[in-house]
Amino acid sequence: MQKEYFMKKAIQQAKLSLKTGDVPVGAVVVKDNKIIAYACNKKEKKQNCLAHAEIIAINKAIKKLKTKILPDCELYVTFEPCLMCVGAILSAKIKKVYFGAYDLRFSCANLLKENNFNFSTDVEGGILKEECGEMLTEFFKKIRKAEKLNAN
Amino acid sequence: MQKEYFMKKAIQQAKLSLKTGDVPVGAVVVKDNKIIAYACNKKEKKQNCLAHAEIIAINKAIKKLKTKILPDCELYVTFEPCLMCVGAILSAKIKKVYFGAYDLRFSCANLLKENNFNFSTDVEGGILKEECGEMLTEFFKKIRKAEKLNAN
């Protein structure tokens, strides 16, 4: 299915985050069934807390299309967007958001639909959620193991 | 007073937005009582819906300090931050936010204090709110007048 196809492309991006010790999250922006922007989380690589995959992907799409907003675009992201990215998605007036794994601690995706912020957008979670979530579980397992080794 | 001093610097920034037809919003980031980053809203200038004054100022401060987050910094902004900027402020773990005019339609500042998003921060609104608000009122009055002229 098409949704799974684009989420797989976002997963490929997420894996690139691992190369720089970044939490594996990836995103793609789709317009007319074509990917127009790819990005992965680069908080560690860029040493910048704002360098989330969604923000980088939205900025790339805006530059590529030379438009201020992205009303004809969809965003695929492997992990449920945080508060900042939800705000960015609403600012960009993105048509629909598909995400993979759910953020069980700070779930923000419902804010996309709430229509309290000048715009609301459709959202569907859980696309390839096992695959998206496993990358994160593995990543944090390794980090905890390394921390344990350092502590000993 | 110091709060008013820094807000005046943010107001000076806001006025720069007007040169490019941007909504006049300005921000400064302060560390140890010194301004380390200035920015104004550049959505029109950059043709990018994410180019809010707060985001640009936070990015500049991160680059200047070479730190991933800004826990020792305060942010002054002439208008109540939107959802995206609230999320960015929380991601950057900014110590305290001072804003000028209130956003009576989509007020988001209370989310800064709510501690639902991995971090919460202190916020104080209404600093030089008349001056901050008047710039916005004047700006939108001019836009409506121009639209009316174009319609006739």
B4, B44, B54, B114: the active-site residue: B54
Q: What is the pLDDT of residue B61?
A: 98
Rg (CA), chain A: 15
10-residue mean pLDDT series, chain B (152 residues): 95 96 98 98 97 98 98 98 97 98 94 86 97 96 88 76
Report pLDDT digits (tens) over A90-125: 999 999 999 999 999 999 999 999 877 778 999 999
pLDDT at A58 over 90: yes
Cα A85 to chain centroid, rounded = 8
3-state secondary structure of A28: strand
Q: What is the DSSP secondary-structure string of A130-149?
A: HHHHHHHHHHHHHHHHHHHH
Work out the minimum CA distance from B21 to partner chain A, whole angstroms. Answer: 14
**Between the CA of residue A48 and those of A116, B127, B145, what are the distances in Å?**
29, 29, 42
pTM, two decimal places? 0.95
Q: Does A151 touch chain B (CB under 8 A)?
A: no
CA distance A15 to A23: 9
**Nearest to residue A63, comparing CAs of B41, B43, B46, B55?**
B46
Share of residues in chain B with pLDDT > 70 (%): 100
CA distance A21 to A126: 25
Q: Across the interface, do B83 and A86 touch by the CB < 8 Å criterion?
A: yes
Is residue A91 within 8 Å of residue B94, measured between CB atoms? no
CA distance B4 to B82: 22
Q: Across the interface, do A117 and B111 touch by the CB < 8 Å criterion?
A: no
For B105-115, b/e burial (b = at least 16 CB within 10 A) is eeebbebbeee
Work out the minimum CA distance from A67 to partner chain B, whole angstroms. Answer: 6
Q: Does B120 touch chain A (CB under 8 A)?
A: no
Q: What is the DSSP secondary-structure string of B33-69?
A: TEEEEEEE--HHHHT-TT--HHHHHHHHHHHHHT-S-
Report pLDDT digits (tens) over A22-37: 999 999 999 999 999 9
A68 contact residues in B (CB cutoff 8 A)? 43-44, 47-49
Of B85, B105, B118, the CB nearest to A106: B118
